[in-house]
Structure 1
Amino acid sequence: MATTITNAPAHVMEASCPSSALGYDRTAGNDRNRTFVRKHLVGAFQDAIGNPSGLRLDREEDCAEFLSNHVERKIDVRLPCLLAFALTGASASAQDPAPLKSPSEILVIGDREQQEKQREQIQEFVRALSTEGWDSPMTRFEKVCPGVIGLSPAQNLRIAARIRAVAAAANIEVGEDGCPPNLRIVVVPDKHEMLELLKKKHPVLFRDYDGRPVEIVKEDGPVTAWHVRQKLDRRGNTLEPDSNGITSISFDGVSPRVLALYRPVAMGSMILIEQKGLVGLTTMQIADYAAMRSFTTIYPHRLSRSNAPTILRVMNSKIGDDTPLSLTRWDLAFLKAAYSVPPYNYSSAQRDRIRRAIKRDLNIESSR
């Protein structure tokens, strides 16, 4: 059962940082470093968070009589007839009427226009939700384990459970109960304050596995979100630079012009949501929004180019706005397609597959 958030009391307190937050142990192996990041995703906040003339020239027979009576006078009397017809909606030439379109032709044209509109909507929708460059595959999770902090214990659990259900519906692997969270939603009074606190106390949350800074897109609304990534080669091995900052990749089989040599994998995601953004929303809306933000690499400002229905607009909506009550068919179609495309295809090929899959799913659903 979803509940509505009326307020979300929480406060920021001084956070402590374990000495292990100084950096990765690159010699410890992948498992230990994944555990290291998860540890910070789990522990970084537990010490920082509380909660729309008789002849009528407008008639065809009278105008025709007028023309026949005056034709020998060579007076150009066509103009008043034409003007009268134009003003009354009558035909300007009774001898050459415009052909009428058949009902079937009208329907076909309307259907084509609708299809083109849908194609454009899908194009912009997919472009907004997947932001990787042409030379990289899309970022995806291997397995997700959601965790929520900042609301009441019951609300936290309902949101986490709903995210698990969305992941399962999209065929995204979900961790067992009790797994260390790698997808964290944190409700705070002020996202900027919390962001600065985390950068100071837990810098590891702002670096990808190869040590590069994570990308955090500036947002005007109540949310800030980002991912921590690692790169896996075709054999599933983690890539990282050597002491000279050079990353070497060995491969065999398909040419790199066809398939990428590596793919980015989300090790974790963080979503900071201000309390004021949750007022009037249900736990289902919060969970579905968080799932879409975590499972995609969306650029929020690009959504303005698409009018596709999506739960992703809910955080910037106002009280009384017509907003989705849950994940939309468009949202789920995207997630299912994004997590089923070949992982090492370049993002342009992946997006093309996703667009076709969304169109197929939407048309199947509308025909039922």
Structure 2
Amino acid sequence: MARFTEPVCFATAGLPRATLIPLSNRMVRTAQAAGIRLGGEKCRANVLVMFVDDGKAEVERLAKHSPWIFSGIDRSKIAGLLDEPGPIHVWSTTEIRSRDGDRMYNGPEYNGLPQLNIQLSSFIVLPIREDILFSVLLIDRKAAIGRNVNQIADYAAMRTLTMIRAKGAAGVNSILALFDPEPATPPLEMTDFDHGYLKTLYTGQGNQRSTVKVRQIGRAILQAQAPAP
């Protein structure tokens, strides 16, 4: 399951500074609580949260004028972003690396096809991992009305630090329901489901099989939700 390996650096834009600062600070605290490494004060942003007038129009503008922001993403996925309804548009660029972090290279001995050095193979864990390199979240400003800073910051953390889809958490108590069109009352902050998912995703090695990681996440969520003795 994809996750950040390099230190995370947040950047926010599109709202008054008085709102963006506490929003960014909360995302930083959430990442710290999950054991995610963070960049320093002058780090280069690899998580971008932008508040825009029209997310679909902004995706079209970025695709035309800043195509680098979609580096490594298939055109079909970009088209899917444009077709996605609602006030939220999110995407992440990822890269397959060896379990030790080695990157692919174009080897002349295989006619320039990408190659990856694998030092060890195992039936228990995978010889590769998938790293998130860059995440972007666009939120329509109108949709942010009526939501508080903590709610938006927690939602943004879940959508950018993981590749979980909001629809994937349908039917559970999760901050991922914050922008659902249904007239239900969303949580005021991250729930046990969210904390369990995020922290467990970043626990252990990045080359664990997805089936193993999903079971670990499930156990962590159930433990967090269990009533105190």
Same fold (TM over 0.5): yes
Paired residues, what number?
A: 223
Going from structure 1 to structure 2, the CA distance change for 1:242 and 1:270 (only over 3 Å counts) comes to: farther
Cα distance, 1:352 vs. partner?
1.6
CA distance in 2, matches of 1:246, 1:236: 19
- Considering only CA atoms, is the larger Rg found in Structure 1 or Structure 2? 1
CA distance in 2: counterparts of 1:200 and 1:240, whole angstroms = 28
Deviations 1:160-205 (A, max 9, x none): 1110011011111111223221100111111111101101111111
1:289-334 deviations in Å (ceiling 9; x for gaps): 0000011112333333xx211111111257x742211111110111
Q: Tell me the equivalent position of 2:128.
A: 262
1:361 counterpart = 2:228: no
1:272 aligned onto 2:133: no
- In structure 1, C-alpha distance between the alignment counterparts of 2:190 and 2:140, rounded to whole Å: 21
d(CA) in 1 for partners of 2:76 and 2:40? Answer: 28
More strand per residue: 2
Asked if 1:249 is matched to 2:112, the reply is no
Structure 2, unmatched stretches of 5+, are none
Work out whether residues 36 and 202 of structure 2, in 8 Å CA contact, stay in contact via their aligned partners in 1.
yes
TM-score, normalised on structure 2? 0.88
Quote the Cα distance in structure 1 between the aligned partners of 2:62 and 2:174: 30
Contact 1:146 1:182 in 2 (8 A): yes
1:326 and 2:185 aligned = no
% identical equivalent positions: 29
Alignment check: 8 A CA contact 1:222 1:273 kept: yes
CA distance in 2, matches of 1:173, 1:147: 15
Matches within 5 A, 1:111-126: none
Instruction: State the match for 2:201 in structure 1.
Output: 338
Distance 1:308 1:235 in 2: 35
- Structure 1 residues 214 and 359, CA, compared in 2 at 3 Å: closer, same or farther? farther
What is aligned with 1:283?
A: 149
Contact residue 159 and residue 165 of structure 2 kept, 8 A:
no
- Distance in 2 of aligned mates of 1:164 and 1:158: 10
Residue 207 (structure 1) aligned with residue 71 (structure 2): yes
Scaled by the length of structure 1, the TM-score of the pair is 0.56
Question: In structure 1, what is the Cα distance between the partners aligned to 2:127 and 2:120?
Answer: 11
Select 2:101's aligned residue among 220, 236, 242. Answer: 236
* 2:14–2:50 Cα contact (<8 Å) kept: yes
**1:359 CA displacement:** 1.7
Q: Check if 1:149 corresponds to 2:16.
A: no
